[in-house]
Every structure is written in C-alpha cells, then in structure tokens.
Structure 1
Amino acid sequence: MRVLLFGSDGQLGRELTALAAHRGVALTGLNRAAVDITDPVAVARAVDAAQPDIVVNTAAYTAVDKAESEPDLAARVNARAPGLIAERCARNGTPLIHISTDYVFDGTKVGAYVETDPIAPLGVYGHTKAAGEAAVRAAGEKHLILRTAWVYGVYGNNFLKTMLRLAKERDRLTIVADQRGCPTCTRDIAEGILAAAAKSVEGKGRWGTYHLGGTGVTTWHGFAQEIISHAGQTTGRTPEVAPITTADYPTPAKRPANSELNSRLFERTFGFRAAAWQQRVTEVVDALLAPTPAEAP
C-alpha cells in the first residue's frame, strides 16, 4: 500500500509517518515547505507524482482562537485545500482520508455525538472544518472523513505537553471543568488511519464520515489531573489542579461544552478501537519524561 500524506510536519502527521515506517508501509510525506495545499496546480502535481493507493490529509489550520481574527487563512487551509485535494483524488480515482474535528458540533447534545447528528459549529475554526468536510463529500464518493477530538501525543504542541510544562513552573493550575470530551492520542488516530486505509484499498471498507476518538470521557480538569498525577511519579511535582468554569476562562472562540464522540461505527467497520485515554496518557507522559541517553545513568 502506497500512502501520500499531506501535513507530515504536524503532530498527527509526524505520528503517522513514524508508525508507517515501523509497520513497513510505503508513505510519502509532504509538509508545508514541499507543497502549498491551497494551490490547485501544486496539489495536482503532488498527487500525480506520488501515484498513491490512498491519500491522507492531516494538514489543517488548528489555532482555534486565532482563527477568529484570521478567517480567510483558516478557510483557505481548512475548506479550500481539502476540496482541491479531494477533487484531484476523485479525478485520479484515488481514495482520500481527511481528518476533521468535534468542533463541527455545538456541544449542546446530551450524550455522545454520532455521525448522523446535525452539525452546528460555533466559531470560525469549526465553520471552516465543516466547509472542508462538505468540499470532500462534493468531490467524490471514495473518501473517509474521520472526526476526532482533544488530540495529544509526543509530537507538536498540545494540552498534555502544556500541562507538563506548567507543572514545572507553577504550584497551582486552574483548568476548565465544565467541558467534556474524549482525549485522543495521535498514536490511536494513526493506528486507525492505517487500519481504515488498508481495508479501503482492499475494498473491504465503506466510504463516508466516521468518529475516531479516544476511549472514555473526562473533562479538561480530569484530563489535567491524570497527566499531573502520573508525571509526579517521575518529577516529584504535583501542583494543585483546581477546577474552574468556562466563564472563568473566556477565550476568543467559543468551545463546545460536550465533545464526546461515539466511535462504535468506526470500530464495527474497520476493526479498530482506541485505547483507554488514561493508558495513552501514561504512555505519552512516560515517553516525554524518559531520560535522554546523555541523562541516563
């Protein structure tokens, strides 16, 4: 299976690249320096040159709050670019896996969101990601849209790494406790992408939109507590993690109060289920806090 990856320099792109190499999957990764995904000519050349069995798009504008003041840039990357990639894939008959987000929902539902729930994004980021989904669907049938949420891992910038940094600097952290969701490790998303890609290339999958979130639900406060508690076993530092409300921590972009995703359809279709989020937190924290060769005794 030959995979072409757009967004190889992001936290998920780096995870997928590493996992593919470990699994012996032939993957060509393209970052922002290699191709401008908002340029139709550049996109066409990249897809045509790679001749992949499947294309994966993990590239995105993910600065949720900054998007409120940069709507045009967010729209170019999150809405226009996926459409361009999908159109070229459709023209070549190549399947596409595109990564989307829980932010297409408004967070008012009681219980986990399923794929057929109506979308109602709250801010620019969510609106542009929803537009990207629509563009992918409009281009052709052979696509998978995978919505995920609360993404973290060993690469890039994310909530878990921010908590580890703040735990070194402060004795008290205040974390929002009235937003809930499924923390999702990039390792699980990468595993899911490869599982879905393999079945799709073999003709054993089913095109459409799926949810791929971590297993289990918590709040940002609960997420932070788990991170700090486990890290403290290594660092000896366990600052207080105090709960606050969304109103106590205003942001330019409004967040969904409920980001819980029901991922059972993905599991039934592709045979993959993400690990319990607490397990992945342990693994990522241990990996990030492991001594380097120079530090090891």
Structure 2
Amino acid sequence: MRMRLMLLGGGSALGQSLIAKGAEEDIGFLAPRPPGASWDAASLTQLLDDTRPDAVVNLAFYYDWFQNSKVDESRLAAQKETVERLAELCQYHGIILLQPSSYRVFDGARVTAYGEADEPQPLGPLGQALLDMEQVVRALCPRHVILRTGWILDDSRDGVLGRFLRRLETGEPLELADDRRGNPCPVDDVARVILAILKQLDCAAPLWGTYHYGAQEATTVLALGQCMVAEARNLRTLPPAEIIPLAHAACADAAAEPQHGVLACKKILNTYGVKPRAWRAGLPALLDRYFRHGAS
C-alpha cells in the first residue's frame, strides 16, 4: 500500500476489525485517538495539518451511526459540523475521504432493493443526519467514496447484536419484526469491503462516488434473530427463547426505521469487484468473539 491511511475511530468495533484485517495484508493505519471525548473541528484541523495522510476512513462516530438505539439530535448536529470540517480539510490537503453511511437514508417504502440512483428520503433524525453528511462530503470533497451499508452486526457488548444476546441470556421474550427486511452485514465483512476499496484507490483509480454494500441474501429481522439464537446455542447454554413475530408497524421504532432497507450491490461489484458474501457464514465467528470477549 503506497498511500498513508488514517483511520478515525480506530477503537470502534469496525475500526478494530479494519486494523486486524489490514495487518493480515501488511496494510497499516494511523489511528490517532481524539484529544477529548470525540473529534471536533479544531482537533481535526490540527491533526490533518500535522499528519497529511493520503486517505482518511471516517469511523469517528461509528457507534452512534450504526449501533446506538437512539442518538440525541444535538449530538448528530455536532457530528455533522465535524464531518463538514473534515471534508473541507480533505479537499484543502488533497486527501481522499471514505465516509460511511447506511440504508437509513431511505424511507423503506419500496419492496425492491435500493440502488445508488434512488432518491433518499430519511424517516428519522439519524437517517437525515447521515444524508446531510453525505451531501456535505459530495459538495466539499470531490475525491470521496460514500459507502452505504446494511445492518452492521459487531461483537460489542452494547451494539445491536449485544443487546439482542443480553435479552436472550436473561430469557426475555424476543419480539421480532417478520415483515422488516434488510441485509445483515457482519463487521468483518464490512472491513473487507473497505479494504478492497482502499486497495483500488491505491492504484490511482479515480472511482469516486456513492456505493452500496449489503451481504448476500436479504432477510427479515425475525429470520435473522432465529438464526442468531440457533448459532448462539451452539456456543452457550441459554434459557428457552420465546420468539414472538411482530409486524413492522407495531414496533416501537417503526417511525424511524425503514421497513424495507435492502440494498442493491451491482455498482460496487462492477466498479470495485466486491462480491457480496453470505452473512450466515460470518455469524458463527462473530458470536464466538462476542461470547469470548464482548460478554466478559
């Protein structure tokens, strides 16, 4: 890798996976910690003035964007300002910016998969914030890649998967939508995709723009939950699980969560050669890691 890579949010679950997978291919990242609780405009200005990397992967607010069940709107507004400053700095210094986003920029009203050319229409504050950040990056930093992903599953205790497994371990009834669809994406698979993009960019391929990635085989929340329960029982003795199918409209988060969040991945395959992998194949290793580390 000729490019010098900087990773904001290296301590996040996706950041750690990206660092580990990069090390397997002798790809290293500068992964500075923020001087305070999180990155802000001033600290980023100083950082990029001092380091001048060739590319930045922005996972600075990964947890809020992909794992948090509810994010305060004022915090999202501050994050948008930080991303805006980062985009300005990347343009000024000639740095490539890889900015993550998600299926949440769509309203989920259509049953067919969303492509990159489909018009975003977010439902809730998080989806709107992610779309605002996308627009800022496009406007201020032409040398960018925006990567929208499906449902990211990681091994953190307080992530989407961790919250589900804690309920399973305590024997709570599990109400799961049987008509909400999306693409589960194990965190290691997302890290693989980011590395594939970076390797192409390292070859000076000007493949800027917005791309979708979702693991192979879209599914429902109910089917995903049933699969996670079955895999978890292979690793741990767990109490009986009462799984209750629920309509999307009856879910507490129905107003903000797209009912249909399936992403079409043809563009990333044709441009970067990234083939979707089956999410089921990545689930056993992810659960094993959670029980060995995340649950401790």
Q: TM-score, normalised by structure 1?
A: 0.89
Render the CA deviation track for 1:179-202: whole Å, top value 9, x for unaligned: 110001111111111111121121
SS at 1:28's partner residue?
coil
Residues 52/214 of structure 1: CA separation in 2 closer, same or farther (3 Å cut): same
SS at 1:178's partner residue?
coil
| Structure 2 residue 258 is matched with structure 1 residue 256 | yes
Deviates more, 1:16-25 or 1:50-59: 16-25
Aligned to 1:227: 228
Identity of aligned residues (%): 28
Aligned residues: 289
| Structure 2 residue 59 is matched with structure 1 residue 66 | no
Residues 32/149 of structure 1: CA separation in 2 closer, same or farther (3 Å cut): farther
Letter in 1 for 2:275: R
Q: Tell me, in whole angstroms, the C-alpha distance in 2 between the residues paired with 1:33 and 1:108.
A: 42
Aligned to 2:89: 88
Unaligned runs of 5+ in 2: none
Q: Tell me, in whole angstroms, the C-alpha distance in 2 between the residues paired with 1:36 and 1:144.
A: 23
Preserved CA contact (<8 Å) 1:56 1:97: yes
Aligned to 2:217: 216
Render the CA deviation track for 1:275-295: whole Å, top value 9, x for unaligned: 201111122123333599xxx
Q: CA deviation at 1:175?
A: 1.4
Aligned to 2:19: 17
| Structure 2 residue 156 is matched with structure 1 residue 122 | no
Q: TM-score, normalised by structure 2?
A: 0.89
Render the CA deviation track for 1:149-186: whole Å, top value 9, x for unaligned: 21112245322222322222106322122211000111
Matched ranges for 1:128-139 at <5 A: 128-139=129-140
Preserved CA contact (<8 Å) 2:19 2:28: no
Aligned CA-pair RMSD: 2.3
Letter in 1 for 2:224: F
Q: CA deviation at 1:74?
A: 0.7
SS at 2:234's partner residue?
helix
Letter in 2 for 1:194: L
Q: CA deviation at 1:251?
A: 3.2
Aligned to 2:10: 8
Preserved CA contact (<8 Å) 2:34 2:43: no
Preserved CA contact (<8 Å) 1:2 1:25: no
Letter in 1 for 2:140: A
Matched ranges for 1:195-214 at <5 A: 195-214=196-215
Matched ranges for 1:1-297 at <5 A: 1-33=3-35, 36-39=38-41, 41-60=42-61, 61-62=64-65, 66-67=70-71, 70-77=72-79, 79-155=80-156, 157-170=158-171, 172-237=173-238, 238-251=240-253, 254-290=256-292
Residues 169/99 of structure 1: CA separation in 2 closer, same or farther (3 Å cut): same
